[in-house]
Amino acid sequence: MSAEKKRIFLCGMRDGIPIGLGYFAVAFTLGIYARNVGLSAVQATVSSLLTHASAGQYAGFSMIGRQAGMIEVIVMTLVINARYLLMSTALSQRLGERTTFLQRLGLGFCITDEIFGISLAYPAPLNPVYTYGAMCVASPGWALGTLLGVLMGNVLPETVVSALSVGLYGMFIAIIMPPARKNRVLAGVIVLSMCLSFACDRLLPGLSEGLRTILLTVIIALGAAILFPVKEEAHA
């Protein structure tokens, strides 16, 4: 690894530390839930190492607890995690022309909501090494939190577990606030997204989280692109 790539990798690790700490706290609740549906510590931990999706894992564990069929679990997980398809598409537009297929594949595996946020904020063109560095810190935090949740999560008071589960939302807000303060259009889009997401949750409770996220993302992004187009020079 060249000195420049090493610097970028370490920069990604530095930015991934708060994400990893947040994942560690939130994964406690996931580990407790995994234990309650009958999964072992090894099964839950391996799942967190291979699947970086809290909502998808909760849904998968829930269906495993109900002894659902494999096809049903796969389809439900795919629908819930479908938003990552949009995130991958967005990040692909910020990659350099020399980015290889394997690098893109690795980048897709690393994407989570928070990793996507800091990767999107990285100056274009995005070097995949930055995202890899962030994930090298964030992923172990998620897996370790899950493991400890299975092993000792039930020892913690319910109020503490509930408080830990809120930490992820605060961390995500911390990621989107700095760019929102610099761009009024972006700030307005974020507020509109929150309002519409809340409205859909209340008015359309039967709509899955993944499908809701995709529909709102496409509609809001399309409207923002038409009303407030970004000049090509801004990406130079």
Asked whether residue 173 is assigned to any structural domain, the reply reads no
- Does one domain contain both 52 and 91? yes
Give the pLDDT of residue 235.
43
Query: Nearest-5° angle of CA 21, CA 7, CA 112?
Result: 40
Q: Is the peptide bond before 128 cis (omega within 30 degrees of 0)?
A: no
- Does one domain contain both 127 and 70? yes
- Does one domain contain both 32 and 61? yes
Within the chain, residue ranges assigned H as helices are 3-36, 41-50, 54-65, 70-80, 83-92, 101-110, 113-121, 128-152, 158-182, 184-203, 209-227
- Does one domain contain both 149 and 62? yes
Separation between Cα atoms, residue 91 and residue 136, nearest integer Å: 19
Asked whether residue 178 is assigned to any structural domain, the reply reads no
- Does one domain contain both 128 and 201? no
Asked whether residue 191 is assigned to any structural domain, the reply reads yes
- Does one domain contain both 235 and 202? yes
**CB neighbourhood size of 132 (10 A):** 21
- Does one domain contain both 137 and 204? no
Token pair 């995994």: residue: 34
Q: Which domain holds residue 80?
A: 3-166
Asked whether residue 223 is assigned to any structural domain, the reply reads yes
- Does one domain contain both 93 and 153? yes
Q: What is the three-class DSSP state of 93?
A: coil
- Does one domain contain both 160 and 189? no
68-77, 99-108, 132-141: which has the minimum mean pLDDT? 68-77
Asked whether residue 195 is assigned to any structural domain, the reply reads yes
Q: What is the pLDDT of residues 127-148, one digit of tens each?
A: 889 999 999 999 999 999 889 8
Its pTM stands at 0.68
Quote the number of domains for the chain: 2
Question: Does 232 have pLDDT greater than 60?
Answer: no
Question: Does 53 have pLDDT greater than 70?
Answer: yes
- Does one domain contain both 158 and 187? no
Asked whether residue 176 is assigned to any structural domain, the reply reads no
